[in-house]
């Protein structure tokens, strides 16, 4: 190899690197610095770009979807949804999900399933008395409280309890190009092509991480007149939080996605209500 071919090869390599960077940048921003305002009114400066479309596709999969209940055409009995218990002490979960949130989801889905749900906010002190009696395990006091007002014609009490909520598995890894860069420098003989290759290799960074949560919910149906347990069921769901990042020659790509904890809980409520609707209406 003569001295003249080395600069030409180095120039060719640099030109190829520049072309790769240009293509990567075009892919990152959808061919422009901004996609403009979309027809749905999205004001994001990159609306319609590749990054925007990818993020929106991920968000669409995490949205909660209405569930069609098998016996929705059949009118269900009058019920009250009491706030259940959250037995997990995981702070990340309890900061996002409360017992009242879960009861709200329960009221929403039981109404969609065509049960007659008494509004908790309208029952006031009577409901608090009933809830306290049930939580203390005082069936007699609960029955006495039920003889008051609208609750006297209520057939069922329904509760949704979180028995488990914790991250159960993690996994991840990545590539660091610094070692490959040093090897290219060692064996490249100090040429410009080797220096360019070393620089390109050193710029490579990839990283990905996944974390999986497991959340378990129990529902209980109590007889409104006797305070006896009529039925119960238990369901578990997994939730994955993922993130990936890649950097090559100054071009950076990042992506994250997850199903939120409150959406996961809502889906568990839907699954529970589907069983209640199918078996006990």
The residues with which 254 forms a beta bridge, in sequence order, are: 245
Q: Is residue 249 part of a domain?
A: yes
Least confident of 27-31, 166-170, 191-195, 276-280: 27-31
Classify residue 7: in a domain, yes or no.
no
Per-residue pLDDT of 249-259, as tens digits, reads 777 777 666 67
**116: in domain:** yes
With a cut of 60, say whether residue 66 has pLDDT above it.
Answer: yes
| Mean pLDDT comparison of 173-182, 236-245, 248-257, 265-274, highest-scoring range | 265-274
**What's the pLDDT tens digit per position in 175-197?**
777 776 776 666 666 677 767 76
For residue 26, being part of any structural domain is answered with: no
**pTM (predicted TM-score):** 0.69
* Strand order from edge to edge, sheet including 116-117: 116-117, 78-82, 156-176, 205-223, 229-248, 251-258
- How many Å apart are CA 30 and CA 24, to the nearest integer? 10
Least confident piece of the model among 13-27, 35-49, 94-108? 13-27
Q: 15 in a domain, yes or no? A: no
Q: What is the domain extent for residue 157?
A: 74-279
SS3 track for 8-23: HHHHHHHHHHHHHHHH
Closest Cα partner for 81 from 114, 116, 113? 116
Domain count, the chain: 1
pLDDT for 163 = 96
Predicted confidence at residue 270, as pLDDT, reads 97
Question: pLDDT digits over 123-158, tens only?
Answer: 666 666 666 666 666 666 666 666 555 565 678 889
Tell whether 135 is covered by a domain: yes
Please provide the average confidence, as pLDDT, over all residues in the chain.
77
> What is residue 16's predicted lDDT score, i.e. its pLDDT?
54
The CATH code of the domain that includes 102 is 3.40.50.10610
Residue 91 within any structural domain of the chain: yes
Task: Tell me which range, 7-21, 199-213, 217-231, is most confidently predicted by mean pLDDT.
Answer: 217-231
pLDDT at 117 over 60: yes
> Does residue 143 lie in a domain region?
yes
Residue 68 in this model has a pLDDT that exceeds 80 = yes
pLDDT over 90 at 273, yes or no = yes
Structure tokens at 153: 């014609």
Q: Quick check: 201 pLDDT over 90?
A: no
Measured from the Cβ of residue 61, the count of other Cβ atoms closer than 10 Å reads 9
Q: Tell me what the mean pLDDT of segment 57-70 comes to.
A: 80
Three-state DSSP class for residue 195: helix
């Amino acid at each position: 190899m003569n001295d003249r071919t080395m600069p030409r090869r180095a120039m060719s390599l640099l030109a190829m690197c520049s072309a790769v960077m240009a293509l990567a940048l075009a892919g990152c921003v959808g061919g422009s610095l901004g996609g403009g305002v979309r027809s749905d009114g999205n004001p994001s400066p990159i609306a319609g770009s590749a990054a925007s479309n990818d993020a929106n596709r991920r968000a669409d999969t995490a949205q909660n979807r209405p569930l069609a209940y098998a016996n929705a055409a059949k009118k269900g009995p009058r019920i009250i949804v009491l706030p259940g218990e959250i037995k997990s002490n995981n702070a990340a979960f309890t900061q996002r999900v409360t017992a009242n949130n879960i009861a709200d989801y329960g009221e929403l889905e039981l109404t969609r399933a065509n049960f007659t749900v008494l509004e908790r906010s309208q029952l006031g002190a009577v409901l608090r008395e009933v809830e306290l009696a049930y939580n203390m395990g005082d069936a007699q006091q609960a029955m006495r409280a039920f003889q008051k007002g609208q609750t006297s014609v209520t057939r069922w009490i329904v509760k949704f309890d979180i028995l488990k909520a914790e991250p159960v598995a993690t996994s991840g890894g990545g590539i660091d190009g610094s070692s490959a860069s040093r090897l290219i420098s060692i064996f490249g003989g100090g040429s410009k092509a080797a220096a360019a290759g070393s620089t390109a290799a050193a710029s490579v960074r990839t990283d990905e991480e996944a974390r999986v949560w497991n959340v378990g919910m129990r529902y209980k149906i109590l007889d409104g007149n006797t305070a006896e347990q009529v039925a119960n069921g238990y369901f578990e769901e997994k939730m994955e939080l993922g993130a990936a990042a890649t950097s090559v020659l100054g071009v950076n790509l990042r992506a994250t996605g997850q199903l939120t904890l409150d959406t996961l809980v809502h889906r568990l409520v839907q699954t529970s209500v589907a069983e209640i609707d199918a078996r006990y209406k």
